[in-house]
Amino acid sequence: MSEKEWIEDREEMEAILQEETVGYLALAAEGQPYVVPLNYAYADGRILFHCALSGKKLDWLATNSQACFAVGRQSGLVGDHGPGGACHLDSDSVICYGWARVVEDLEERRRVLEEFNRRYYPAAEPLSAERVAGCCAIELRVEEMTGRQERQRQRTCWRYHFS
């Protein structure tokens, strides 16, 4: 795709990130890829998620904190393309590139977990100190995001670099 086809805008991509509830976190360590589906919250150029205090995600992040996160959705069914025709599917997708880190400070972790929690349970009670201490929080700072929307064979591509 040529440079002229990209739209430098983040609003549409952020709307997709706000609407979807499952994304795919991609990590790499020692030349091996690892992709895991997870619930997340998006806020101000950050992908927020929680996990156990130990496990594969944390092991891989300790080796390489570079991460990629993707969401996607389709609108309808794959269109009939007939003999020799191009396949078509109306769809939206966003890919975020950046660096992930474990949120170690318990007060900061509480804020991240509360933000995540409010996305799925807006009326939830504040988290107790015990729950915060027993749950890991990870923040992926997005450096660049790209997105794509396809409707009736018309494609729109977005890109945004965070400062």
What's the CATH code of the domain at 120?
2.30.110.10
List all residues 6 or more positions away from 21 whose beta carbon is below 8 Å from its beta carbon: 39, 40, 120
Instruction: Tell me the pTM.
Output: 0.88
pLDDT of residue 126: 94
Has residue 16 got a pLDDT over 80? yes
State which residues form the domain around 21.
3-75+89-161
> How many Å apart are CA 25 and CA 35, to the nearest integer?
5
| Domain presence at residue 45 | yes
> How many other C-beta atoms lie within 10 A of the C-beta of residue 31?
5
| Domain presence at residue 147 | yes
Q: Is 54 strand, coil or helix?
A: coil
| Domain presence at residue 81 | no
| Domain presence at residue 84 | no
Q: Into how many domains does the chain fold?
A: 1
> What's the mean pLDDT when you consider all of the chain?
91
| Domain presence at residue 83 | no
> How many other C-beta atoms lie within 10 A of the C-beta of residue 73?
13
pLDDT of residue 163: 79
